[in-house]
A and B are shown apart, each in its own frame.
Chain A
Amino acid sequence: MENRLAMTLAPPFGFIQTELIDPFERHIGPIFEQGVKGARRFAFIVEDRHVNMRGVIHGGMLMSFADAALGQAAWDVCDHAHCVTLNMQSQFLAPAKVGDLVEVLPELTRRTRSLMFLRGDFTVGGETIFTVASVWKILGQD
């Protein structure tokens, strides 16, 4: 437990801790970020609580981090309007292990009046381990 606290308290070099609102994101976090609004890179450190019985990152954790990080990027795009995930397509390319730093720089593929298309390649040490394409709805826009 002390080990976990030590790992989670210090942001990686060059990152600050992202302010999270959603209880589930606070539960799985912390999440870290660097860069300015609209071009923020997000990251988290894999811990024992994030892995499966084989000792590698759980797919659910990667998809939850993707929803959180791409959600932050979506929030930047629609200037903090309320938006929700409509669809997420995830591909698992390689495992990550405890201690790895998983990073993503979300990309806006297209924005319409009511929809946002966001994607992300998730990397560990420069190698892509996980990739996501997602569709988001901006609420209040038909």
Chain B
Amino acid sequence: MTVAPQSLPAEAENISRGGFNAFAGPFWRLPPDGDIHRFALQVAPKHMNGSGSLHGGVLMTFADIAMSQVSRKVSGAPGCSTVSLTCDFVGPGKLADVIEARVRVTRQTRTLVFLSADIIAGERILAVATGLWKIV
């Protein structure tokens, strides 16, 4: 699980260490693109809905994991709790897609981090999420 599949860049780092993160994943951290933090998921059969598209729960889980990672990184705190998360489902994801979460920090205060994430598959946008994290 520590070696990235060939569909991912060799620098991809597995961030799924256990619990729901591993059960729903694995999720990967990619090298940043300027001030954009990047994460990846390869869509597997377990991630699908009955219509053959990526399940919305996977998109929200991916958004939550990616933005939580960034809130911990920028705050330096051992943990951050999701307070709120809003997700627009813009387009369907497909089996075997490598989807990418591109996360930006909107604002950071002493106790809170405001974040947004675009989830894309190549040129296509699948979801747009924003959220608020409490630094604990």
Interface residues of A (CB under 8 A from B): 21-25, 27-28, 48-54, 58-61, 63-65, 67-68, 82, 84-92
| Total A-B residue contacts, Cβ distance less than 8 Å | 117
CB-CB nearest in chain A for B89: A85
Query: In the complex, A30 Cα to B62 Cα: how many Å?
Result: 21
> Do the beta carbons of B57 and A52 come within 8 Å of each other?
no
Q: Does chain A have a CB within 8 A of B75? A: no
Q: Does chain A have a CB within 8 A of B61? A: yes
CB-CB nearest in chain B for A58: B20
> Do the beta carbons of A49 and B57 come within 8 Å of each other?
no
From A52, A61, A86, A92, B84 is in contact (CB under 8 Å) with A92
Taking A22-B49, A60-B64 as contacts, is the C-beta distance between A88 and B19 under 8 angstroms?
no
Taking A21-B50, A24-B48, A59-B64 as contacts, is the C-beta distance between A89 and B20 under 8 angstroms?
no
B25 to chain A minimum Cβ distance, whole angstroms, is: 10
> Do the beta carbons of B47 and A24 come within 8 Å of each other?
yes
From B17, B19, B51, B89, A86 is in contact (CB under 8 Å) with B89
Query: In the complex, A51 Cα to B19 Cα: how many Å?
Result: 5
20 contacts between A and B (CB under 8 A): A22-B55, A23-B45, A23-B47, A23-B48, A23-B49, A23-B50, A28-B24, A52-B19, A58-B21, A60-B60, A60-B64, A60-B65, A63-B61, A64-B61, A87-B87, A89-B86, A90-B60, A90-B86, A90-B87, A92-B81
Besides A59-B68, A61-B24, 15 more A-B contacts (Cβ < 8 Å) are A22-B48, A24-B48, A24-B57, A25-B55, A49-B20, A53-B79, A58-B19, A60-B24, A63-B85, A64-B58, A68-B57, A87-B87, A88-B60, A89-B84, A92-B84
Taking A87-B86, A90-B84 as contacts, is the C-beta distance between A67 and B56 under 8 angstroms?
yes
Q: Does chain A have a CB within 8 A of B5? A: no
> Do the beta carbons of B23 and A49 come within 8 Å of each other?
yes
> Do the beta carbons of A67 and B55 come within 8 Å of each other?
yes
B118 to chain A minimum Cβ distance, whole angstroms, is: 15
> Do the beta carbons of B60 and A67 come within 8 Å of each other?
yes
Q: Does chain A have a CB within 8 A of B18? A: yes
Query: In the complex, A51 Cα to B24 Cα: how many Å?
Result: 11
Query: In the complex, A78 Cα to B11 Cα: how many Å?
Result: 46
Please give, as numbers and ranges, the residues of chain A lying within 8 Å of B73 by CB-CB distance: none
B59 to chain A minimum Cβ distance, whole angstroms, is: 9
